[in-house]
Amino acid sequence: MRNFGILKDKNILVTGGAGFIGSNLVEKLLELEANVLCLDNFSTGRIDNLVNVNDNPKFSLLEGDIRDLETCQKACKNIDFVLHEAALGSVPRSINDPVTSNDVNVGGFLNMLVAARDNGVKRFVYAASSSTYGDSEELPKIEDRIGKPLSPYAITKYVNELYADVFKRTYNFDTIGLRYFNVFGRKQNPNGAYAAVIPKFVIQLMNHESPVINGDGEYSRDFTYIDNVILMNILALTSDNENSLNHVYNTAFGERTTLNHLMEYLKEYLSEFDPKIADIEVIYGENRKGDVPHSLASIDKAKKLLNYNPTYSMRAGLKEAVSWYWENLK
């Protein structure tokens, strides 16, 4: 078992720390007694996500934008490790406004790399994405076999990987990229046009509204519970295996679930709180542009090089997530 205690008193910057994944990482790092700085511009993140940590003396917040290099330089001062989560997520958002997604996800990423390099950051772990597999139909997805990107968002996330690779070659700067696969769990925002499918469906069902599934519901995803993602980030930060650095890793559970099955599980778990939910009808709509039909990760590389062993199956995570939404948002 890896010694996560080595993070105690380390200075760790979490960009996007007010967002879904970032705020969960902030909480975990504070549990491990690290000093944590969150850099966020609150464009999609929420101050509510930080209520549990605001009073912690080891936590500080810098409100600012990664599109500004000076802000990134300031944030990286005296920092040992960076977890870079700040980005504009969502494929449809990037289709509607590719310029802003590119500015934040590519320009902001490059600023963060430069600032981290200039300030002697020891390791830069960043949020990559399963969207990088693009039009490759191969299943399961293996890290070095990718297709062509299907959206502006996918391009931005792939460019991140290219920059990280070039920063190793040209400046000997160490990074690890984590290709997240459809992450879900506590604190994920259920509201707004670009909400992810699980929290959106949960809220609709809780409100007795019919959820709309895009397509026939047979598209599948490797839905990944937040605690598996936290584990991967901590493993990436603490890995003492030189061979594990400067790679990208699938960050997933390694099983796929169709949207129809997802809906069944959600209804089953939510009807334990409210039996009427079992009878809610689902509406089927059009397929969405830029969506890949199926997604399933091979997690062999992470198992081998990072000793990753995911603790939550999709169903176990979904049960936890549903309870959290019921307790916090009902």
Residue 108 contacts ligand NAD per CB under 6 A: yes
191, 203 in Cβ contact below 8 A?
A: yes
Cβ closer to ligand NAD: 213 or 229? 229
Interface characters, 155-194, with ligand NAD (x: CB under 6 A):
-------------------------x-xx-----------
Residue 88 contacts ligand NAD per CB under 6 A: yes
Count of positions on this chain that bind ligand NAD (CB under 6 A): 28
Cβ closer to ligand NAD: 34 or 230? 230
Residue 127 contacts ligand NAD per CB under 6 A: yes
156, 101 in Cβ contact below 8 A?
A: yes
153 classed as catalytic: yes
Query: 97 CB contacts (<8 Å, ≥6 apart)?
Result: none
Residue 85 contacts ligand NAD per CB under 6 A: yes
Report in angstroms how near the CB of residue 223 gets to ligand NAD at its nearest.
9
Q: Which stretch binds ligand NAD (CB under 6 A): 41-49, 72-80, 168-176, 306-314?
A: 41-49
Alpha helix locations (H) across the chain?
A: 20-31, 69-76, 91-96, 98-102, 108-118, 152-171, 197-206, 226-238, 259-270, 300-306, 314-329
Residue 16 contacts ligand NAD per CB under 6 A: yes
Q: Report residue 295 as tokens.
A: 């997604």
Cβ closer to ligand NAD: 157 or 301? 157
Residue 86 contacts ligand NAD per CB under 6 A: yes
Residue tagged active-site, from 126, 133, 153, 180: 153
Angle at 102 between CA 119 and CA 120, to 5 degrees: 10
| Integer Cα distance of 175 and 84 in angstroms | 10
Q: Report residue 219 as tokens.
A: 């598209």
Residue 89 contacts ligand NAD per CB under 6 A: yes
Q: Report residue 133 as tokens.
A: 């597999």
152, 95 in Cβ contact below 8 A?
A: yes
Residue 66 contacts ligand NAD per CB under 6 A: yes
Cβ closer to ligand NAD: 89 or 211? 89
Beta pairing class for 220-221 and 35-40: unpaired
For the annotated catalytic residues, the residue numbers are 153
